[in-house]
Structure 1
Amino acid sequence: MDTLTSLTRDLVSIPSHDDEAAAGEYITAWLRDHTDARVTRDDHGNVIARKGQGDDSLAFVGHHDVVPPDGSQVGADGEYVVEERDGRLYGRGTADMKGCVAAAMLAFRDADPAGELVFASFVGEEQGGVGCQAAIEDGFAPDYAVVGEGSTGYSAPGTTDVAVAHKGRRGSTIVANGAAAHASEPEAGANAIYRVTDAVDVVRDLDFPSTTVLGHEMRGSVAVTEIDGGSAWNVIPERCAATVDERTVPGERAPLDRVEAIDGVTWRVDQDLPPMACGDADFADAVLDAATTAQDGTPEHVVKPHATDAGWLAQAGTDCVIVGAAEPGEAHTADESVSLAVVERCQDVYERVAASWPSR
């Protein structure tokens, strides 16, 4: 029988930054071999398994794609290097998030749910959640979800908390069009850089969006992060663009369209990853109870600063929380690693949630 460590090692060793197919095939085969669940792998590459029946459905949600590895994380055979030392597993995807995918697989296998229990591992999370979005479009709609992204180390070092909300990200571009002229006669043209800087002043004066989720204050942010314009030192620029990074909160957006009141300025949204807010306090409390029982520390409801697939699920009507082993700063690094003890803790939390929800 697979142990959590061996299953995690197997998953982490499979390259899945350019092509998630092999990892998806492995997860699909494992679920079919080790459970009697109804297992599908859809046309997008998402793996979804279902067991049990009831009015309520609870999903364990993860993703098996990863960001491109550092050169040191790839072996001569092309597989990812996986190393275990000092109680930690090192390798691309250990923290984000194949460790918790493995924990969810084992918890799903061992559960005897009172309602419908779902396991889902999506592709394309690192590309803006394209796999999750595709699954939702195809009808994926659990009532509740525990998403295995990192929630450890927020309230206290080593404590696995329960995230009840996270920020989203809206990336947008301000474009100013003017008229070119020789720089010796600036009045003969219309300076696009000046128009963009006028728009930047508008952005600078905007209030950051804020809200409250289950008693926790969330405050977003808006920042201009890039400016690109001009063609030569002696030419009045006819075009200039500025990139805006906005961290969004549920129900609120900064009124960035105000920049279009400036002559020659337009604004477009390039990416809009939705925030997440759990709307069911009883569910959030039940998961917190499970997390409290599973560890010596005292976990809390917390807010994550960045977007996950939970945002897409919440936008579609699923009440989500996030419980995962990764701590801030562990993912996407050349020495990415995860504590095996914390991954085991997450498996324990998932098993307890499956056993207690919905009420029997």
Structure 2
Amino acid sequence: MDELADLTEKLVAIPSHEDETAAGDAIEEWLRAETDARVERDEVGNAFAYKGATDDPDADTLALIGHHDVVPPAERQTTGDGNAGEYVVKRRDGRIHGRGAADMKGAVAACVLAFRDAEPPPDRELAVASFVGEEVGGTGARHAIDAGFVPDRAVVAEGSTNYSKPGVTDVVVAHKGRRASTLVARGSAAHASEPEHGENAVYRASDAIDVVRELDAPAATVSGESVTGSLAVTIVEGGETWNVIPERCEVTVDERTVPGDRADLARAAEAVPGVEWEVDQDLPPMACGDDAFAEGTLAVAREVHDDLGLDAPEHVVKPHATDAGWLAEAGTEPLVCGASEPGEAHTDTESVGVDVLDRCYRIYMGVAERSF
């Protein structure tokens, strides 16, 4: 456990919100020093390692996956400006405090240690990967997938702790995606004292909003777990001054998508003249369709919890998009299981429990060695 905590502290101390290079260097150097695996680094900074049946074209590939980029730190979490100063890292009361401790350098440390120590079945290629750009839309994952990195199965080490109940690390079988859209309403300007001479874009936008309010939110069922999306107008911007009929109004829509279903947002544009629908960002949802993998991973997690005298974890649904969505879209069967607890990631008091990291390490080891 000390080795895991020490490696976590080392990685957390390395700034990686503007430039992930140094953190990726540290992961690559550790893998080369501590393993006999084939270690690779691609042009965007993703780090990979492979061992096991790497020469068998029929071998299945199981990957342990994390990311080493983080969101910008709070002032209290860094010793200097930008990537010039190290992040502040403190260990107290069994927890490691610092930007990226929970999301997700602690889990990356657990992944690489489990990769080193695991003895996979003879017909399995075991991989570990740490991506860049997860916090900005999965740029690293998408680059890796485009270059051919599509493992058969993957455990993405994002947070799943304390979802079903306090004190357990659950296994996520599905998560929501996020589609950010803009409804652009166009009209024609006129003096506000003669509104009949113009077409009010705000009114058209209001009519489109009424259509959005009547749309059904997407919903699905994965491994017996209900996944319910959502749909909400979050920003309305239109008009330039008080005495001119507005000729343009933009409506921002936040949609949480689910596997296999999306809201019919195109209807809002089709139903109202002068309105267009534009998709700004589309982070895919995730669902694991491999029941044996999902059940086997949960069995491993329950064995680990039982050995530690903890309550049993469950299959759960995660509300947040992760790199698992990109992998699922590419054909990988992914699950999410990791140390971060709700309310820890992206906060100025971010921390992770050393005992939870150890629990994750044991789960990753067990999954890497188990046949499915």
- Shorter-chain TM-score category? over 0.9
In the alignment, the residues of structure 2 paired with residue 2 and residue 138 of structure 1 have an alpha-carbon distance, to the nearest angstrom, of 36
Q: Which amino acid aligns with 1:270?
A: D
**1:114-129 mapped onto 2 (5 Å cutoff):** 114=121, 115-129=124-138
The answer to whether 1:154 aligns with 2:163 is yes
Gaps of 5+ in 1: none
Aligned to 2:114: 107
Letter in 1 for 2:268: V
1:62-105 deviation digits (Å, cap 9, x = unpaired):
00000000000001570000001110000000000000000001
Name the amino acid aligned to 1:220.
G
Corresponding residue for 2:278? 268
Among 210, 213, 231, the alignment partner of 1:204 is 213
Partner of 1:60: 64
What residue is the counterpart of 1:15 in the other structure? 15
Secondary structure of the residue that 2:345 maps to in structure 1?
Answer: coil
Partner of 1:348: 362
**Is the aligned partner of 1:331 residue 2:335?**
no
* Structure-1 residue corresponding to 2:77: 73
Within the candidate set 260, 269, 277, 1:251 is matched to: 260
Distance 2:267 2:161 in 1: 39
Determine helix, strand or coil for the equivalent of 1:11: helix
TM-score normalised to the size of structure 1?
0.98
Cα distance in 2 for partners of 1:145, 1:274 equals 16
Report the count of equivalent residues: 358
Name stretches of at least 5 consecutive residues in structure 2 with no aligned partner.
Answer: none
- The 2-side partners of 1:231 and 1:31 are apart by 56
Q: Distance in 1 between matches of 2:217 and 2:323?
A: 23
**Could you tell me how far apart the structure 2 residues matched to 1:117 and 1:294 are?**
20
Residue identity opposite 2:136 in structure 1? Q
* Deviation, structure 1 residue 259: 1.4
Q: Distance in 2 between matches of 1:112 and 1:160?
A: 23
Distance 2:2 2:141 in 1: 27
1:6 match: secondary structure: helix
In the TM superposition, residue 2 of structure 1 has moved relative to its aligned partner by 7.3
1:26 and 1:325 map into 2 onto residues whose CA distance is: 21
Structure 2 Cα separation of the partners of residues 241 and 141 of structure 1: 38
Cα deviation per residue 1:166-192 (whole Å; 9 max; x = unaligned)? Answer: 000000000001000000000000000
Deviation at 1:357, TM superposition (A): 2.9
Which residue of the partner structure matches residue 31 of structure 2? Answer: 31
1:83 maps to what in 2?
90
- Percent of aligned pairs sharing the same letter: 63
Q: d(CA) in 2 for partners of 1:183 and 1:293?
A: 70
Aligned to 2:315: 301
Deviation at 1:355, TM superposition (A): 1.2
d(CA) in 2 for partners of 1:357, 1:64: 29
**Aligned-pair RMSD on alpha carbons?**
1.0
